[in-house]
Structure 1
Protein backbone atom coordinates (compact mmCIF):
# COMPACT_ATOMS: atom_id res chain seq x y z
CA UNK A 1 0.00 0.00 0.00
CA UNK A 2 1.30 3.43 -0.84
CA UNK A 3 1.25 6.35 1.57
CA UNK A 4 -1.22 8.11 -0.73
CA UNK A 5 -3.75 5.25 -0.54
CA UNK A 6 -3.44 5.15 3.28
CA UNK A 7 -4.16 8.85 3.41
CA UNK A 8 -7.14 8.46 1.09
CA UNK A 9 -8.54 5.70 3.28
CA UNK A 10 -8.16 7.85 6.41
CA UNK A 11 -10.01 10.70 4.70
CA UNK A 12 -12.83 8.34 3.66
CA UNK A 13 -13.20 7.22 7.28
CA UNK A 14 -13.27 10.81 8.48
CA UNK A 15 -15.92 11.79 5.94
CA UNK A 16 -18.02 8.68 6.67
CA UNK A 17 -18.05 9.40 10.40
CA UNK A 18 -18.63 13.15 10.10
CA UNK A 19 -22.25 13.16 11.37
CA UNK A 20 -21.73 10.57 14.10
CA UNK A 21 -21.71 11.71 17.70
CA UNK A 22 -18.59 11.26 19.76
CA UNK A 23 -18.53 8.79 22.60
CA UNK A 24 -18.30 10.47 25.99
CA UNK A 25 -16.17 8.29 28.26
CA UNK A 26 -16.99 10.44 31.27
CA UNK A 27 -20.74 9.83 30.87
CA UNK A 28 -20.55 6.45 32.60
CA UNK A 29 -18.54 7.80 35.52
CA UNK A 30 -20.69 9.14 38.37
CA UNK A 31 -20.09 12.56 39.83
CA UNK A 32 -18.04 12.16 43.03
CA UNK A 33 -20.02 12.93 46.19
CA UNK A 34 -17.20 15.06 47.59
CA UNK A 35 -17.72 17.45 44.65
CA UNK A 36 -21.39 18.05 45.44
CA UNK A 37 -22.14 21.40 47.04
CA UNK A 38 -25.33 21.54 49.03
CA UNK A 39 -27.02 24.81 49.83
CA UNK A 40 -28.56 25.54 53.17
CA UNK A 41 -32.37 25.79 53.00
CA UNK A 42 -32.33 29.53 53.76
CA UNK A 43 -29.12 30.40 51.86
CA UNK A 44 -30.90 32.95 49.67
CA UNK A 45 -32.64 34.72 52.54
CA UNK A 46 -31.10 37.48 54.67
CA UNK A 47 -31.80 36.46 58.24
CA UNK A 48 -29.64 39.19 59.76
CA UNK A 49 -26.85 36.79 60.67
CA UNK A 50 -23.48 38.43 60.94
CA UNK A 51 -21.55 35.45 59.65
CA UNK A 52 -19.80 34.77 62.96
CA UNK A 53 -19.23 31.11 62.25
CA UNK A 54 -16.35 29.26 63.78
CA UNK A 55 -13.35 28.69 61.53
CA UNK A 56 -13.82 25.55 59.48
CA UNK A 57 -17.62 25.40 59.76
CA UNK A 58 -19.01 23.75 56.68
CA UNK A 59 -15.61 23.39 55.04
CA UNK A 60 -13.94 20.06 54.42
CA UNK A 61 -10.24 19.50 53.99
CA UNK A 62 -8.69 17.93 50.91
CA UNK A 63 -8.83 14.48 52.46
CA UNK A 64 -12.62 14.76 53.00
CA UNK A 65 -12.55 15.41 56.72
CA UNK A 66 -14.13 18.50 58.15
CA UNK A 67 -16.55 19.64 60.76
CA UNK A 68 -18.55 16.44 60.57
CA UNK A 69 -21.70 17.87 58.99
CA UNK A 70 -20.83 16.57 55.54
CA UNK A 71 -22.00 19.82 53.97
CA UNK A 72 -20.17 22.71 52.44
CA UNK A 73 -21.43 26.28 52.28
CA UNK A 74 -22.44 27.38 48.80
CA UNK A 75 -21.25 30.95 49.26
CA UNK A 76 -20.44 33.55 51.86
CA UNK A 77 -23.27 35.63 53.31
CA UNK A 78 -24.37 38.52 51.11
CA UNK A 79 -23.34 41.17 53.63
CA UNK A 80 -19.82 39.76 53.99
CA UNK A 81 -18.06 41.43 51.07
CA UNK A 82 -15.07 43.68 50.64
CA UNK A 83 -15.64 47.41 50.71
CA UNK A 84 -12.58 49.25 49.45
CA UNK A 85 -11.39 52.33 51.30
CA UNK A 86 -12.13 55.73 49.82
CA UNK A 87 -9.50 56.74 47.27
CA UNK A 88 -7.19 59.58 48.17
CA UNK A 89 -8.14 62.97 46.73
CA UNK A 90 -6.65 63.92 43.39
CA UNK A 91 -3.68 66.24 43.65
CA UNK A 92 -4.26 69.84 42.65
CA UNK A 93 -1.94 70.81 39.85
CA UNK A 94 -0.05 74.06 39.76
CA UNK A 95 -1.14 76.94 37.54
CA UNK A 96 1.30 76.16 34.71
CA UNK A 97 0.09 72.55 34.45
CA UNK A 98 -3.53 73.63 34.36
CA UNK A 99 -2.82 76.20 31.65
CA UNK A 100 -0.88 73.60 29.67
CA UNK A 101 -3.81 71.17 29.75
CA UNK A 102 -6.18 73.97 28.79
CA UNK A 103 -3.96 74.89 25.82
CA UNK A 104 -3.53 71.25 24.79
CA UNK A 105 -7.26 70.63 24.57
CA UNK A 106 -8.53 74.18 24.12
CA UNK A 107 -6.71 74.97 20.87
CA UNK A 108 -8.07 72.01 18.87
CA UNK A 109 -11.47 72.32 20.57
CA UNK A 110 -11.74 75.94 19.47
CA UNK A 111 -10.76 75.06 15.88
CA UNK A 112 -13.30 72.22 15.78
CA UNK A 113 -16.05 74.38 17.25
CA UNK A 114 -15.29 77.26 14.87
CA UNK A 115 -15.35 74.89 11.88
CA UNK A 116 -18.66 73.30 12.95
CA UNK A 117 -20.35 76.64 13.62
CA UNK A 118 -18.78 78.24 10.54
CA UNK A 119 -17.24 81.14 12.46
CA UNK A 120 -14.87 83.28 10.41
CA UNK A 121 -11.28 82.29 11.31
CA UNK A 122 -8.55 84.78 10.66
CA UNK A 123 -5.02 83.54 10.12
CA UNK A 124 -3.79 84.79 13.49
CA UNK A 125 -6.60 82.92 15.33
CA UNK A 126 -5.69 79.63 13.66
CA UNK A 127 -2.00 80.26 14.38
CA UNK A 128 -2.76 81.01 18.05
CA UNK A 129 -4.85 77.82 18.44
CA UNK A 130 -2.18 75.61 16.84
CA UNK A 131 0.59 77.34 18.81
CA UNK A 132 -1.38 76.84 22.05
CA UNK A 133 -1.74 73.12 21.28
CA UNK A 134 1.96 72.70 20.54
CA UNK A 135 3.06 74.79 23.53
CA UNK A 136 0.76 72.89 25.90
CA UNK A 137 2.09 69.57 24.63
CA UNK A 138 5.73 70.62 24.91
CA UNK A 139 5.31 72.02 28.42
CA UNK A 140 3.60 68.85 29.65
CA UNK A 141 6.25 66.60 28.13
CA UNK A 142 9.12 68.66 29.54
CA UNK A 143 7.55 68.67 33.01
CA UNK A 144 6.96 64.89 33.06
CA UNK A 145 10.12 64.35 35.08
CA UNK A 146 10.86 60.85 33.86
CA UNK A 147 14.58 61.19 34.61
CA UNK A 148 16.32 59.82 37.69
CA UNK A 149 15.77 61.59 41.00
CA UNK A 150 18.26 64.34 41.77
CA UNK A 151 19.47 62.62 44.94
CA UNK A 152 20.09 59.19 43.37
CA UNK A 153 23.88 59.70 43.08
CA UNK A 154 26.15 58.82 40.17
CA UNK A 155 25.24 55.09 40.00
CA UNK A 156 21.79 54.49 38.51
CA UNK A 157 22.22 50.74 38.39
CA UNK A 158 21.50 48.98 35.12
CA UNK A 159 19.98 51.42 32.66
CA UNK A 160 18.71 49.93 29.41
Structure 2
Protein backbone atom coordinates (compact mmCIF):
# COMPACT_ATOMS: atom_id res chain seq x y z
CA UNK A 1 0.00 0.00 0.00
CA UNK A 2 1.14 3.49 -0.70
CA UNK A 3 1.11 6.21 1.98
CA UNK A 4 -1.71 7.94 0.10
CA UNK A 5 -3.96 4.85 0.23
CA UNK A 6 -3.27 4.42 3.98
CA UNK A 7 -4.31 7.99 4.54
CA UNK A 8 -7.44 7.52 2.45
CA UNK A 9 -8.36 4.43 4.48
CA UNK A 10 -7.96 6.32 7.76
CA UNK A 11 -10.23 9.09 6.46
CA UNK A 12 -12.85 6.56 5.37
CA UNK A 13 -12.84 5.06 8.87
CA UNK A 14 -13.24 8.48 10.46
CA UNK A 15 -16.14 9.37 8.17
CA UNK A 16 -17.81 5.97 8.70
CA UNK A 17 -17.64 6.31 12.49
CA UNK A 18 -18.81 9.93 12.55
CA UNK A 19 -22.40 9.23 13.63
CA UNK A 20 -21.62 6.32 15.96
CA UNK A 21 -21.99 6.82 19.69
CA UNK A 22 -18.91 7.15 21.84
CA UNK A 23 -17.58 4.07 23.60
CA UNK A 24 -17.86 5.77 26.95
CA UNK A 25 -21.16 7.53 27.53
CA UNK A 26 -21.03 10.96 29.17
CA UNK A 27 -23.31 9.66 31.96
CA UNK A 28 -20.49 7.39 33.11
CA UNK A 29 -18.09 10.29 33.58
CA UNK A 30 -17.90 11.76 37.08
CA UNK A 31 -19.20 15.29 37.58
CA UNK A 32 -16.79 17.53 39.54
CA UNK A 33 -18.17 18.92 42.80
CA UNK A 34 -16.95 22.39 41.91
CA UNK A 35 -19.48 22.47 39.04
CA UNK A 36 -22.50 21.75 41.25
CA UNK A 37 -24.93 24.64 41.63
CA UNK A 38 -26.48 25.21 45.08
CA UNK A 39 -30.13 24.17 45.37
CA UNK A 40 -31.25 27.48 46.87
CA UNK A 41 -30.31 30.86 45.41
CA UNK A 42 -27.57 32.88 47.07
CA UNK A 43 -29.00 35.64 49.23
CA UNK A 44 -27.21 38.95 49.41
CA UNK A 45 -27.25 41.48 52.22
CA UNK A 46 -26.61 45.13 51.43
CA UNK A 47 -24.83 47.07 54.15
CA UNK A 48 -23.03 50.42 54.03
CA UNK A 49 -19.26 50.15 54.12
CA UNK A 50 -17.28 51.93 56.79
CA UNK A 51 -14.90 54.01 54.66
CA UNK A 52 -17.12 54.99 51.75
CA UNK A 53 -20.17 57.12 52.36
CA UNK A 54 -22.84 56.76 49.72
CA UNK A 55 -21.54 53.43 48.41
CA UNK A 56 -22.93 50.03 49.26
CA UNK A 57 -21.17 46.70 49.62
CA UNK A 58 -22.63 43.33 48.69
CA UNK A 59 -21.86 40.41 50.93
CA UNK A 60 -22.76 36.73 50.54
CA UNK A 61 -24.64 35.27 53.47
CA UNK A 62 -24.55 31.75 52.03
CA UNK A 63 -20.77 31.57 52.45
CA UNK A 64 -20.84 32.25 56.19
CA UNK A 65 -20.39 29.72 58.93
CA UNK A 66 -23.34 29.08 61.22
CA UNK A 67 -21.58 31.34 63.76
CA UNK A 68 -21.78 34.24 61.30
CA UNK A 69 -18.06 34.40 60.44
CA UNK A 70 -16.57 34.04 56.98
CA UNK A 71 -14.33 31.15 56.08
CA UNK A 72 -10.62 31.99 55.95
CA UNK A 73 -10.25 30.06 52.69
CA UNK A 74 -12.83 32.31 51.03
CA UNK A 75 -10.79 35.46 51.73
CA UNK A 76 -7.50 33.97 50.55
CA UNK A 77 -7.80 35.19 46.95
CA UNK A 78 -9.81 38.33 47.74
CA UNK A 79 -8.15 41.61 46.75
CA UNK A 80 -9.27 45.03 47.84
CA UNK A 81 -7.50 47.79 45.94
CA UNK A 82 -6.21 50.79 47.86
CA UNK A 83 -8.21 54.00 47.57
CA UNK A 84 -7.31 55.97 44.45
CA UNK A 85 -5.14 59.07 44.81
CA UNK A 86 -6.92 62.42 44.70
CA UNK A 87 -7.35 64.09 41.33
CA UNK A 88 -4.71 66.68 40.52
CA UNK A 89 -5.59 70.35 40.87
CA UNK A 90 -5.99 72.08 37.50
CA UNK A 91 -4.80 75.59 36.86
CA UNK A 92 -6.96 78.19 35.13
CA UNK A 93 -5.41 77.72 31.67
CA UNK A 94 -6.11 73.96 31.70
CA UNK A 95 -9.68 74.50 32.85
CA UNK A 96 -10.27 77.04 30.08
CA UNK A 97 -8.77 74.65 27.51
CA UNK A 98 -11.17 71.87 28.58
CA UNK A 99 -14.13 74.27 28.47
CA UNK A 100 -13.12 75.42 24.99
CA UNK A 101 -12.56 71.84 23.79
CA UNK A 102 -16.07 70.74 24.77
CA UNK A 103 -17.87 74.09 24.73
CA UNK A 104 -17.32 74.89 21.06
CA UNK A 105 -18.80 71.66 19.69
CA UNK A 106 -21.53 71.71 22.36
CA UNK A 107 -22.62 75.17 21.23
CA UNK A 108 -22.66 74.06 17.58
CA UNK A 109 -24.69 70.96 18.46
CA UNK A 110 -27.26 72.88 20.50
CA UNK A 111 -27.53 75.59 17.86
CA UNK A 112 -28.04 73.02 15.09
CA UNK A 113 -30.65 71.06 17.08
CA UNK A 114 -32.53 74.23 18.01
CA UNK A 115 -32.34 75.56 14.43
CA UNK A 116 -30.75 78.81 15.55
CA UNK A 117 -29.43 81.13 12.89
CA UNK A 118 -25.66 81.22 13.41
CA UNK A 119 -23.66 84.24 12.40
CA UNK A 120 -20.31 83.69 10.74
CA UNK A 121 -18.37 85.04 13.70
CA UNK A 122 -20.17 82.66 16.13
CA UNK A 123 -19.42 79.66 13.94
CA UNK A 124 -15.78 80.73 13.60
CA UNK A 125 -15.49 81.29 17.37
CA UNK A 126 -16.90 77.85 18.20
CA UNK A 127 -14.57 76.06 15.78
CA UNK A 128 -11.58 78.16 16.90
CA UNK A 129 -12.37 77.39 20.56
CA UNK A 130 -12.40 73.65 19.83
CA UNK A 131 -9.12 73.76 17.91
CA UNK A 132 -7.50 76.14 20.41
CA UNK A 133 -8.54 74.02 23.40
CA UNK A 134 -7.19 70.88 21.76
CA UNK A 135 -3.88 72.52 20.87
CA UNK A 136 -3.53 74.03 24.34
CA UNK A 137 -4.07 70.67 26.02
CA UNK A 138 -1.61 68.91 23.73
CA UNK A 139 1.06 71.58 24.23
CA UNK A 140 0.61 71.55 28.02
CA UNK A 141 0.69 67.76 28.14
CA UNK A 142 4.50 67.64 27.98
CA UNK A 143 6.68 64.67 27.19
CA UNK A 144 9.05 64.63 30.14
CA UNK A 145 9.44 61.66 32.45
CA UNK A 146 7.64 61.55 35.80
CA UNK A 147 9.72 62.67 38.78
CA UNK A 148 9.27 59.37 40.64
CA UNK A 149 10.47 57.11 37.83
CA UNK A 150 13.50 55.92 39.83
CA UNK A 151 16.95 54.98 38.59
CA UNK A 152 15.72 52.42 36.02
CA UNK A 153 13.88 54.21 33.23
CA UNK A 154 13.44 51.06 31.16
CA UNK A 155 13.80 51.29 27.43
CA UNK A 156 14.42 54.85 26.30
CA UNK A 157 13.77 55.36 22.61
TM-score (norm 1): 0.57
2:53 corresponds to: none
C-alpha change, 1:11 and 1:158, in structure 2 (3 Å) is: closer
1:102 shift after superposition: 0.4
1:89 shift after superposition: 2.5
Greater relative contact order (Cα < 8 A, sep 6+): 1
Please give the alpha-carbon distance, in whole angstroms, between the structure 2 residues aligned to 1:82 and 1:10.
53
Q: Which runs of 5+ in 2 are unaligned?
A: 35-61, 148-152
Q: Which runs of 5+ in 1 are unaligned?
A: 36-42, 52-72, 151-155
TM-score (norm 2): 0.58
2:50 corresponds to: none
> How many residues are paired up?
123
1:12 shift after superposition: 1.6
Two-structure CA RMSD over aligned residues (Å): 4.0
For the pair shown, which has the larger CA radius of gyration, 1 or 2? 1
The structure where strand makes up a greater share of residues is 2
C-alpha change, 1:149 and 1:19, in structure 2 (3 Å) is: closer
Q: How does 1:11-160 map to 2 (within 5 A)?
A: 11-23=11-23, 44-45=63-64, 47=66, 75-76=73-74, 83-148=80-145, 159-160=156-157
Give per-residue Cα distances to partners, 1:57-94, cap 9 Å, x unaligned. Answer: xxxxxxxxxxxxxxxx79437xxx65544433222211
